[in-house]
Structure 1
Amino acid sequence: MTNLDSAFLLVMKSARRGCIFVYQNSIYQNHVLGASSQTPGKDFPKDGSVAFIKLMRLEDSQSLRDELEVYKMLAEAQLGNTMRAPRLLGLVRDESGWVFGLLLTYIHCKSVTLSHAVKPGTSSSLRQKWAAQLRSIIYQLHKAGLVWEDAKPEDFLIDMNQDAWIVDFGGGYTEGWVPKLAGTMEGDQHALEKMVGFTGI
């Protein structure tokens, strides 16, 4: 077991229906196993908190390693509440120890991304707020030595308080948003300016 595993271990045992997870001394059930990594779920621990489960496929192993490293660095950077990014709460494992999911901070957003939130009728004050939050989040990422890589409006969620959250640290490249500079801070800055322009500011 690696140090990263021990720091973010979520013990899971199989059950007749779904799975039973042991998380912070509370047991709760999940019924979204078998879906692809594009189909997230939501869990309700007995302590009343809510967690987001991101399932991973076998071919997502490199993406999983990339995300774990980012969440490790986020934890070590001890960024404040203004850094609206999910935190890693645990790993979802089967009985053999195979990791097939991440347990993350749940963002109350009704799946609204920046690309869906920006509409013709969106107020100027909201657009300015989101643009400022995008800049702040990317600045804090870079200050912590992290690169976002696959930067695009679909990877910013807008929560119930109309605040922007950055998500998806699995790497990759989306044509049209990040040039050949993808995977660099310069590439992030290029994509950031395009997203600020997308807000209409």
Structure 2
Amino acid sequence: MNSELQDLPCNKYGGYSDKHQAVIFIVCLMIQYQIETRQADLEDTSLWDEHIDVEQLLDKDPRAAYRSGAVDALQTKIIRHCRPVIERFGLKSQDKARTLDEYHRMPTCRLRLTQVDGQIQPLVVSGPVSDGWGPNGLHATNFTNIHVPDGIAYHPSTDLWIQLDDDLLPPFIRGEIKSTDGKRYFFKPNDTDEQFLRETNILLKIFELGLARKIRTSNIAALVYTDDRTNIIGVLIEWNDARQIGDMMKTATHDDLARWKTQVLQSVEKLHQNEIVWGDVNLGNILIDADSNAWVVDYGGLYNPRFVDEENCETKVGDLQGVQRVFAHLAWEIDNRLTGASDGAFNHS
């Protein structure tokens, strides 16, 4: 964030704009804000002139617009105009950790910039009020009709702590989280119903079948609930210190790659035997542990078109196609490292 806001711990997590309006989403001092700017309110101001200039840059070359700093500079000015309201509503201090429950229940405030006596002022449209949706869409899904096998643990969101490196609350709560007793977990949030339910149902099936004892894959530790055990806002997965396979390419050999590929194919075969489709074959979803063994993780679905053709998305064929292409890409990376080549790009076709 611009130096003018360094003492105001704000974190942007989204937004959209066109020639007539713009919306920025930020988290600041334990409140999430939706800040709107509209042509009808600001048309005769230098701020709106800058908005039009930025929109023209975005239309021409979005990446260049962001790299130039023009988008960030405009958003910083918009947030600065809202500073009086943010400081009035925000907490005056923050601990270095917050519970997941606090994050989930973070109140939302809608602001709109308008003109009052020729001065740009923030208008409070609504809030702050807790509406059950945390930043980036974190919310609860009722699990009354979801089959949850016996033995699955439930963990309250009030007993899970978000780890902060500074005063900035992250816009996405995904990854390391700790319980009150200090145990580490990997937290997967309920931020998109379809993908979250797909992954959770697969993790529950893996648990019920005992597959996590037979192959190296994600093992669910608990469902995370708020209010009561039917309202699920995420899942806890047993912590794994393994590294993404792509991070191993500086030292990996072709022999390493062959062994890891065999291990991944064995895991995928076991999944397929139990009618489970991995569904998201990707460099980030193959992990290598301290004993140099390969793990298969992440069942959220979707696909990476670099490795899986669209028509094979979330199919057994797609899983196998993806594994072949991922390891072909990694072999190409090793070849480039050994030969000193740096030009060109991998072509999986």
TM-score above 0.5: yes
Give the letter aligned to residue 196 of structure 2.
L
Name the structure, 1 or 2, with higher relative contact order (CA <8 Å, separation 6+).
Answer: 1
Q: Which runs of 4+ in 1 moved over 6 A?
A: none
Identify if the C-alpha distance between structure 1 residues 5 and 146 changes in structure 2 by more than 3 Å, giving closer, same or farther.
closer
Per the alignment, residue 4 of structure 1 pairs with: 147
Identify if the C-alpha distance between structure 1 residues 30 and 163 changes in structure 2 by more than 3 Å, giving closer, same or farther.
same
State the number of aligned residues: 182
Give the letter aligned to residue 4 of structure 1.
H
Per the alignment, residue 256 of structure 2 pairs with: 126
Q: Unaligned stretches of 5+ in structure 2?
A: 1-143, 333-349
CA distance in 1 between partners of 2:212 and 2:186 (Å): 20
Alignment of 1:51 with 2:185, yes or no, is: yes
Q: Unaligned stretches of 5+ in structure 1?
A: 14-18, 21-28
Residues 136-190 of structure 1: CA distance to partner in whole angstroms, max 9, x if unpaired?
A: 1111111111111121111111222222111110111212111021111111111
Q: 1:200 aligns with which of 326, 331, 334?
A: 331
Q: How does 1:1-201 map to 2 (within 5 A)?
A: 1-2=144-145, 4-5=147-148, 7=150, 8-12=152-156, 19-20=158-159, 29-31=160-162, 35=170, 39-43=174-178, 46=181, 50-57=184-191, 60-79=192-211, 81-95=213-227, 97-109=230-242, 112-119=243-250, 121-179=251-309, 180-200=311-331
CA distance in 2 between partners of 1:35 and 1:100 (Å): 17
Residues 36, 56 of structure 1: 8 Å contact kept: no
Residues 131, 199 of structure 1: 8 Å contact kept: no
Residues 77-130 of structure 1: CA distance to partner in whole angstroms, max 9, x if unpaired?
A: 322645111111211111255322111111112xx21122223x4223322221
Residues 24-62 of structure 1: CA distance to partner in whole angstroms, max 9, x if unpaired?
A: xxxxx423597555631232564x8543222232xx111
Q: CA RMSD in A?
A: 2.7
CA distance in 1 between partners of 2:240 and 2:292 (Å): 12
Residues 40, 55 of structure 1: 8 Å contact kept: no
Give the letter aligned to residue 292 of structure 2.
Q
Rg comparison, structure with higher value: 2
Q: Percent identity?
A: 19
Give the letter aligned to residue 201 of structure 2.
E
TM-score (norm 2): 0.47
Identify if the C-alpha distance between structure 1 residues 197 and 82 changes in structure 2 by more than 3 Å, giving closer, same or farther.
farther
Identify if the C-alpha distance between structure 1 residues 158 and 45 changes in structure 2 by more than 3 Å, giving closer, same or farther.
farther
Identify if the C-alpha distance between structure 1 residues 30 and 145 changes in structure 2 by more than 3 Å, giving closer, same or farther.
same
